[in-house]
């Protein structure tokens, strides 16, 4: 046989071999890439099965005894029609699943479907796996993490949260919340990173990395969801979900950057906001969801609606006259997953069959959803176990981090020398509605077992043993302190050397007496109810008054600022918040948190934020009141002092350069401590208005007393950009001020063409 014939036969054999492999290739083959498996699975799916992947439903565990012998039967009966839909492949994901047993049963039902496609189980894991039915690790809320100015903390918290989620059968965190806050009345501030787009971006990026890892391909990764797009933090009257009427310039300068950052960090899902933006509801905004986010910013994941918000295109926004039309508008705009409700499936199927929604739109959505399931490894490992739960939840590393997030979020607002408290204080009165209350857990957390939480009262008792008398006068409600309680506090305060009054808010998710949180917005920024009256009575007693604030949003009280001897802003510090607060009060922890949001003087001083435009106050201030806020963004005291020296900045740069600068920082006080170094710039003269200062870099460092460090910062060329009159980014030649923290102007840099 000559060589030509041999080559021909060999070629034919190879072709036959490849054809055979192609014919037998299966989406169940874990050795194939996720992209290839998606391609193969899509070929097998019917229209019903595809639309089913776009449908999300809620679980039904509240009344089920998972220790009974007939758990699966009981639970399947409780699910009702949903059980059948799962078996038919008509549900792709679930939320409001409460236990790992429930997650396993749901997955077992999905495994009986024709294609055995696993479910995505989602939850609002904002600062820990707090919506899980059993005890989990609860960290400081996002606003407290922002106050730490330490993105590494947020990243590790998200990583640990992801591991607890996966151990309990969950795969999808509706987090991080990267909305920028511009109205302090909004009840959801506690679940945000505050008012500055750069800080929000850095913290949000860190959480995305923590949840997803490199490519969410590890068994301990989950997919993240950047939310809520966009401008919920500047809604009408500060009301959750109300319209946002805001310029395109402000959107691009303030509200969009955190979402751009999350996409660059690989975030795989995005949740639009409840609100409308300049007349177009977020869930129907094709110009943003498709043209901007997908086509311009390069988002490669999928969108999930917020709770019932597609239906609200008809019922609340009234841009359509039926739920079917709402589904059509949303899907065509780019929405991929519908959160909760049975009508979506039938409507979308009819719209596809009628030619109103192209099959390609469905295939695109489903391909993104399936990719997540393959990449997470759910086809190979959809179940979890009691052993995984026991080995992961509340591990020592997780609990240690919970304490650290609390310690590093403390912001000392005022100190007349009373702090740190001396060891020999004889009589301490601890009172206030948050003194012995789990409100320090914050929103998006179930009440935890008492032995897993350290309240402030318990923390103070830990720090003071023999030789000190700790008295506690309980206050039952935040919004209404009774005459009996007021009298008891007054009498006890007269006998005390120091009164630690733990005041603030209650945003616990399932507490009927909560005073702030999602859909509980604030008409006043002062302490709610008659808490100030309680503090006034304490002040009248002559005892030293130390106020600890436990709250999600800023507390604006001129009386408090003027009259308290010390004020510690603790935010909502999580399960070990009481220990962290007590350690800070006695000096074991030197507070170094900085405000991630401006605290205005009153509700009448809204909007208040540090990076306002130059003309904001050029015509004066308020009648009989200072225009200055109580505390600016970035403010925070320490038990030690720091000195900045030897700033080195180049005198000139081109408009295409980045800028590198160095500065020496020395701890000149008597205690070891952390310092948060913040670098701002100000474009002195520009063709469009720019902020009086803009945060472009920060770093938290630890310095022992007497220690000095040299820090180097590189300010990216992009940070010097503005959006010109045509909304094009450009670095204009001219002078830029470089400002460090609250210090005076320290350098001027001239940018040249």
CB 641 within 8 A of CB 678: no
| Nearest C-alpha neighbor of 546 from the set 576, 582, 507, 599 | 582
Mean of pLDDT values over 568-587: 98
| Nearest C-alpha neighbor of 589 from the set 643, 551, 639 | 639
Which phi and psi angles does 457 have, rounded to 5°?
Answer: -60, -45
pLDDT at position 398 is 98
CATH 3.20.20.300 domain position(s) in the chain: 46-391
Task: Determine the CATH number of domain 46-391.
Answer: 3.20.20.300
**CA 80 to chain centroid:** 34
Residue 217 has pLDDT above 50, yes or no: yes
Tell me how far apart the alpha carbons of residues 721 and 714 are, in angstroms, rounded to a whole number: 15
Which phi and psi angles does 461 have, rounded to 5°?
Answer: -65, -35
Q: Are strands 566-569 and 411-415 parallel, antiparallel or unpaired?
A: antiparallel
pLDDT at position 467 is 77
Mean of pLDDT values over 560-582: 98
> Confidence band (pLDDT; 50, 70, 90) for 69?
low
Q: Following CA atoms 520, 522, 526, 530 in sequence, which dihedral angle do they give, to the nearest 10 degrees?
A: -50
When computed from its CA atoms, the radius of gyration of the chain, rounded to whole angstroms, is: 28
CB 223 within 8 A of CB 268: yes
Mean of pLDDT values over 481-489: 97
Tell me how far apart the alpha carbons of residues 21 and 495 are, in angstroms, rounded to a whole number: 86
Mean of pLDDT values over 158-162: 98
CB 54 within 8 A of CB 40: no
Q: Is the peptide bond before 420 cis (omega within 30 degrees of 0)?
A: yes
Instruction: Starting at the earlier edge strand, list the strands of the sheet with 642-648.
Output: 642-648, 659-667, 708-715
Report the run of H or E that residue 390 belongs to, with start and end. helix 386-392
- Which CATH superfamily hosts domain 642-752? Immunoglobulins (2.60.40.10)
Q: Does domain 407-617 have CATH number 3.30.420.40?
A: no
Residue 628: burial class (beta carbons within 10 Å; 0-12, 13-18, 19+)? middle
Residue 674 has pLDDT above 60, yes or no: yes
Among the listed ranges 370-374, 424-428, 430-434, which one has the minimum average pLDDT value?
424-428
pLDDT at position 66 is 57
Half-sphere exposure of 441 (CA within 13 A, CB side): 28
Mean of pLDDT values over 203-217: 97
Report the run of H or E that residue 352 belongs to, with start and end. helix 343-353
- Residue 453, both tokens: 């939480």
> Confidence band (pLDDT; 50, 70, 90) for 35?
very high
At 367-415, the pLDDT tens digits run 999 999 999 999 999 999 999 999 999 999 999 999 999 999 999 999 9
> Confidence band (pLDDT; 50, 70, 90) for 52?
very high
> Confidence band (pLDDT; 50, 70, 90) for 235?
confident
Mean of pLDDT values over 57-82: 75
End-to-end CA distance of the chain: 74
| Nearest C-alpha neighbor of 450 from the set 556, 578, 541 | 578
Residue 188 has pLDDT above 70, yes or no: yes
Q: Are strands 566-569 and 544-550 parallel, antiparallel or unpaired?
A: parallel
Residue 21 has pLDDT above 70, yes or no: no
At 249-267, the pLDDT tens digits run 999 999 999 999 999 999 9
Which phi and psi angles does 175 have, rounded to 5°?
Answer: -165, 150
CB count within 10 Å of CB 131 equals 21
CB 333 within 8 A of CB 299: no
pLDDT at position 77 is 85
Residue 43: burial class (beta carbons within 10 Å; 0-12, 13-18, 19+)? exposed
Tell me how far apart the alpha carbons of residues 249 and 338 are, in angstroms, rounded to a whole number: 31
Among the listed ranges 339-343, 428-432, 667-671, which one has the minimum average pLDDT value?
339-343
Share the mean pLDDT of the chain: 93
Maximum mean pLDDT: which of 60-69, 291-300, 737-746: 291-300
Residue 62 has pLDDT above 60, yes or no: no
Mean of pLDDT values over 513-525: 92
> Confidence band (pLDDT; 50, 70, 90) for 747?
confident
pLDDT at position 605 is 87
Left (φ > 0), alpha (ψ -120 to 50) or beta: where does 595 sit?
A: beta
Which phi and psi angles does 525 have, rounded to 5°?
Answer: -105, 0
Residue 15 has pLDDT above 50, yes or no: no
pLDDT at position 748 is 85
CA distances from residue 346 to 52, 56, 332, 363, 743 in whole angstroms, order as listed = 10, 14, 16, 17, 62
CATH 3.40.50.1700 domain position(s) in the chain: 407-617
Mean of pLDDT values over 180-198: 96
- Beta bridge mates, 644: 665
| Nearest C-alpha neighbor of 473 from the set 560, 538, 419, 532 | 538
Residue 431: burial class (beta carbons within 10 Å; 0-12, 13-18, 19+)? buried
> Confidence band (pLDDT; 50, 70, 90) for 742?
confident
Q: Is the peptide bond before 228 cis (omega within 30 degrees of 0)?
A: yes
CB 187 within 8 A of CB 516: yes
pLDDT at position 322 is 98
At 99-113, the pLDDT tens digits run 999 999 999 999 999
pLDDT above 90 covers a percentage of the chain that reads: 87
Mean of pLDDT values over 680-701: 96
Left (φ > 0), alpha (ψ -120 to 50) or beta: where does 734 sit?
A: left
- Strands (E) in 391-468, as ranges, are 411-415, 427-432
Mean of pLDDT values over 659-684: 96
Report the run of H or E that residue 145 belongs to, with start and end. helix 142-148
Mean of pLDDT values over 457-481: 92
CA distances from residue 355 to 71, 333, 348 in whole angstroms, order as listed = 43, 16, 11
């Amino acid at each position: 046989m000559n060589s030509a014939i041999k080559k021909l036969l060999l070629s034919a054999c190879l072709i036959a071999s490849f054809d055979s492999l192609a014919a037998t290739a299966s989406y169940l083959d874990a050795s194939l890439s996720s992209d290839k498996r998606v391609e193969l699975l899509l070929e097998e799916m019917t229209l019903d099965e595809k639309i089913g992947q776009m449908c999300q439903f809620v679980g039904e565990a509240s009344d089920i005894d998972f220790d009974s012998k007939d758990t699966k039967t009981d639970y399947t009966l409780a699910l009702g029609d949903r059980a059948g839909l799962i078996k038919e492949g008509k549900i792709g994901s679930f939320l409001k699943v409460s236990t790992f047993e429930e997650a396993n049963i749901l997955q077992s039902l999905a495994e009986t479907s024709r294609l055995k496609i696993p479910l995505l189980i989602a939850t609002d894991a904002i600062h820990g796996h707090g919506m899980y039915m059993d005890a989990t690790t609860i960290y400081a809320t996002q606003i407290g993490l922002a106050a730490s100015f330490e993105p590494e903390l947020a990243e590790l918290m998200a990583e640990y949260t992801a591991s607890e989620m996966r151990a309990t059968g969950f795969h999808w965190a509706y987090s991080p919340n990267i909305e920028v806050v511009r109205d302090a009345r909004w009840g959801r501030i506690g679940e945000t990173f505050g008012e500055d787009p750069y800080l929000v971006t850095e913290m949000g990026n860190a959480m995305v990395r923590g949840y997803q890892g490199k490519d969410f391909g590890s068994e301990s990764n989950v997919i993240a969801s950047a939310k809520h797009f966009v401008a919920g933090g500047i809604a009408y009257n500060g009301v959750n979900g109300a319209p946002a009427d805001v310029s395109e310039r402000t959107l691009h300068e303030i509200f969009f950057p955190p979402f751009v950052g999350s996409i660059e960090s690989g975030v795989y899902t995005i949740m639009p906001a409840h609100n409308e933006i300049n007349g177009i509801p977020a869930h129907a905004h094709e110009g943003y969801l498709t043209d901007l986010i997908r086509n311009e910013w390069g988002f490669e994941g999928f969108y999930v609606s917020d709770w019932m918000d597609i239906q609200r295109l008809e019922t609340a926004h009234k841009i359509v006259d039926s739920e079917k039309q709402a589904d059509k508008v949303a899907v065509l705009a780019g929405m991929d997953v519908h959160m909760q409700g049975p009508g979506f499936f039938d409507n979308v199927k009819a719209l596809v069959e009628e030619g109103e929604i192209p099959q390609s739109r469905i295939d695109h959505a489903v391909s993104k959803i399936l990719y997540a399931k393959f990449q997470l490894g759910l086809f190979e490992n959809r179940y979890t176990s009691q052993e995984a739960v026991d080995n992961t939840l509340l591990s020592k590393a997780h609990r240690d981090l919970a304490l650290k997030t609390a310690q590093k979020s403390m912001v000392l607002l005022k100190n007349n020398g009373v702090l740190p408290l001396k060891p020999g204080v004889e009589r301490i009165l601890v009172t206030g509605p948050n003194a012995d209350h789990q409100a320090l857990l914050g929103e998006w957390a179930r009440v935890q077992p008492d032995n897993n939480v350290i309240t402030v009262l318990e923390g103070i008792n830990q720090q003071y043993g023999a030789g000190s008398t700790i008295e506690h006068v309980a206050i039952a409600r935040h919004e209404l302190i009774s005459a009996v309680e007021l009298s008891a506090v007054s009498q006890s305060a007269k006998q005390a050397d120091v009164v630690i009054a733990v005041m603030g808010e209650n945003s616990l998710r399932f507490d009927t007496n909560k005073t702030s949180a999602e859909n509980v917005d604030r008409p006043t920024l002062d302490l709610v109810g008659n808490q100030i009256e309680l503090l006034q009575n304490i002040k009248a007693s002559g005892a030293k008054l130390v106020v600890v604030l436990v709250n999600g949003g800023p507390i604006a009280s001129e009386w408090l600022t003027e009259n308290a001897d010390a004020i510690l802003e603790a935010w909502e510090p999580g399960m070990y918040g009481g220990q962290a607060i007590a350690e800070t009060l006695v000096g074991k922890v030197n507070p170094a948190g900085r405000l991630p949001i401006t605290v205005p003087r009153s509700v009448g001083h809204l909007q208040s934020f540090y990076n306002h435009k130059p003309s904001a106050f050029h015509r004066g201030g308020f009648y009989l009141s200072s225009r200055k806020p109580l505390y600016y963004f970035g403010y925070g005291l320490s038990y030690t002092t720091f000195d900045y020296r030897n700033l080195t900045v180049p005198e000139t740069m081109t408009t295409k350069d980045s800028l590198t600068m160095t500065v020496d920082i020395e701890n000149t006080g008597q205690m070891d401590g952390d310092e948060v170094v913040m670098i701002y710039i100000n474009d002195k003269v520009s063709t469009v208005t720019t902020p009086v200062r803009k945060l472009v870099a920060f770093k938290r460092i630890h310095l022992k007393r007497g220690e000095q460090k040299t820090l180097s910062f590189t300010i990216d060329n992009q940070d010097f950009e503005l959006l010109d009159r045509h909304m094009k980014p450009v670095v204009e030649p001219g002078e830029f001020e470089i400002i460090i923290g609250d210090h005076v102007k320290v350098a001027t840099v001239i940018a040249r063409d």
